[in-house]
Amino acid sequence: TNKGMKIVIVGTGYVGLTTAVMLAYIGHNVVGVDIDEKKIELLKKGKSPIHEAGVEELLASLKNNITFTTDLKPNVGEADIIMIAVGTPAKVNGEADTHYVEEVARTVAEGLINGHTYTVVVKSTVPIGTNRRVAHVIKKTLEERNVKSTVYIASNPEFLREGMALYDSFYPDRIVIGSEDPEAIEMLRRMYRPILEQTFDPPQAIPRRDGYSLPPLITTDPVSAEMIKYAANAFLALKISFINEIAGLCEKVGADVTEVARGIGLDTRIGLRFLNAGIGWGGNCFPKDTAALIAVGREYNYEMPIVEAARRVNQIQRERTVEKLQSVLKGVRGRTIAILGLSFKPGTDDVRESPAIDIIRLLIERGAYIRAHDPVAIENARKAFTTEELQKITFVNDPYLVAEGADAVLVATEWQLYRQLDLKRLASVMCTPILLDGRNIYLPKEAREAGFTYMGVGR
Ligand code: UDX
């Protein structure tokens, strides 16, 4: 019943590729565009450039609904919807750099056809006011070309988590659309209908969401939509920083932060999720988006002390992890420290702003040697370090082997694989069996029984 729309998605990163795959799966005709030829080559072969559960399985089943190209301009003319999902990297001052978004908007406008109607959607996380800029760039370019097309603009921020990207796009908590044009809102409502009404065949490759009810559609103005995205990420980041701050005090007074988190989280006004104390948050979103939010505030001479504190606590959390190792080992100089996990969280090979990487760097600065394991992120991690740093790091493909001869082991990423380790065996291969459980994945009692000197975060 829902006739497929022609959708061009520009940018095949986490957001663009996942959205493209999801939209193709629910029946639209999707063209994924990226300037990165290597990425497009891979995608043409059905291979995913990102490690994301279900993407390749779905790609394989979608051959007819989705194509990939590096050519943007010739592909937008016949489209109904054009989604911009390119990166907005951070500038040195924290501000998000929107020049890719604007460049894409211009190229899109250069390909639009006289008399056609389009909806252009900004999906990238962009500073307040970017939608207005995109609208302006498109209008100006069309005028210069003397082409009359009708272009509606909408902001449609994305809340997907890496590692759960497809799951989150098939089963979102909500869909947010910000636009001044009722036509754009209507188009996107139609585009998302199978998701809003949950009428698609659940893909085999991703788990179904238990107890899920239909996702609300929030329609608002573009500026509010842009703000929702930043405020959501900032809030989640500060929720984690809050529990990390409480964890530090728990250690002083002898409380267990996992008990405290459960005790407060069961209050439905607080909620249990994102209250896991650990070595801090990383990834491409929280660090960048909190910085960008502060930068937006600065532009208006407006301070954001809570968001700033969340970032500071996150930095301190990395330093405290190193201090814990310093103090238990009576200095880390010359010691060998095994690191379990390099990605910023499980389920991804992404090491951007990963606390594991920062902590390794701090440890090396203090003279430690590192042995590091990760099930998928070693290749990316290698690129994150300098040549000098790499001389101090040995990457190991086996979680037991990595601990061999080590003076301490730090669990930096809570991969399922690590939860299932035989702790006795792990302890037995180490020089001194010291375990810093940076994600609180083990029961302290079990780790101690296995022979470890156990330290968690906040307990
Ligand atoms: C986040 C948002 O969740 C998502 O909605 C947005 O679209 C993009 O940013 P992502 O960066 O993929 O997603 O990861 P997320 O699962 O949110 O984790 C972020 C960081 O917080 C990770 O480093 C993780 O280890 C850490 N974290 C998360 C904690 O330390 N404790 C928690 O309780 C939850």
> Residues 417-447: pLDDT tens digits?
999 999 999 999 999 999 999 999 999 999 9
> Residues 365-423: pLDDT tens digits?
999 999 999 999 999 999 999 999 999 999 999 999 999 999 999 999 999 999 999 99
Domain range 6-220, its CATH number among 3.30.930.10, 3.40.50.720, 3.40.50.970, 3.40.190.10? 3.40.50.720
Query: Mean pLDDT, to the nearest integer, of 231-259?
Result: 98
Query: Mean pLDDT, to the nearest integer, of 185-200?
Result: 98
> Residues 204-215: pLDDT tens digits?
999 999 999 999
Domain range 237-455, its CATH number among 3.40.50.360, 3.40.50.720, 3.90.180.10, 3.40.50.2300? 3.40.50.720
88: its two tokens: 């907005």
Going by C-alpha positions, the residue among 37, 97, 51 that lies closest to residue 351 is 51
**CB of 339 closer than 8 Å to CB of 279:** no
**CB of 150 closer than 8 Å to CB of 115:** no
Take atom 10 of ligand 1 and give the residue whose Cα is closest.
Answer: 161
Tell me, in angstroms, the distance from the centre of ligand 1 to residue 236's CA.
8
**pLDDT, averaged across the chain:** 96
Give the number of C-alpha atoms closer than 13 A to the C-alpha of residue 354, restricted to the C-beta side: 31
Tell me, in angstroms, the distance from the centre of ligand 1 to residue 161's CA.
7
Q: Is 432 annotated as a binding residue?
A: no
Q: Is 159 annotated as a binding residue?
A: yes
- Residue 41 neighbours by CB under 8 Å, 6+ apart: none
Query: Mean pLDDT, to the nearest integer, of 122-145?
Result: 95
Residue of 236, 317, 440 with the most ligand 1 atoms within 8 Å of its CB, for mutation? 236
- pLDDT more than 90, % of the chain: 95
Spatial separation of the C-alpha atoms in residues 228 and 447, rounded to whole Å: 42
> Residues 328-362: pLDDT tens digits?
999 999 999 999 999 999 989 999 999 999 999 99
**CB of 7 closer than 8 Å to CB of 30:** yes
Strand partners, 122: 84, 155
Spatial separation of the C-alpha atoms in residues 230 and 147, rounded to whole Å: 35
Strand partners, 82: 8, 120
Residue 3 pLDDT > 80, yes or no? Answer: no
Is 86 close to ligand 1, i.e. is its CB under 6 Å away? no
Residue 2 pLDDT > 70, yes or no? Answer: no
Looking up tokens 């005090």 gives 249
Tell me, in angstroms, the distance from the centre of ligand 1 to residue 181's CA.
32
Residue 1 pLDDT > 70, yes or no? Answer: no
Q: Name the DSSP letter for residue 426.
A: H
Take atom 15 of ligand 1 and give the residue whose Cα is closest.
Answer: 161
- pLDDT more than 70, % of the chain: 100
Residue 63 pLDDT > 90, yes or no? Answer: no
Tell me, in angstroms, the distance from the centre of ligand 1 to residue 45's CA.
30
Q: Is 75 annotated as a binding residue?
A: no
Is 288 close to ligand 1, i.e. is its CB under 6 Å away? no
Q: Which of the residues are catalytic?
A: 285
Q: List the single range of 88-92, 165-169, 264-268, 269-273 with lowest mean pLDDT.
A: 88-92
Q: What is the dihedral of CA 52, 56, 57, 61, to 10 degrees?
A: 140
Q: Domain segments of the chain: what residues? A: 6-220, 237-455
Q: Do domains 6-220 and 237-455 have the same CATH topology?
A: yes
Residue burial 178-192, b: 16+ Cβ < 10 Å; e: rest:
bbebeebbebbeebb
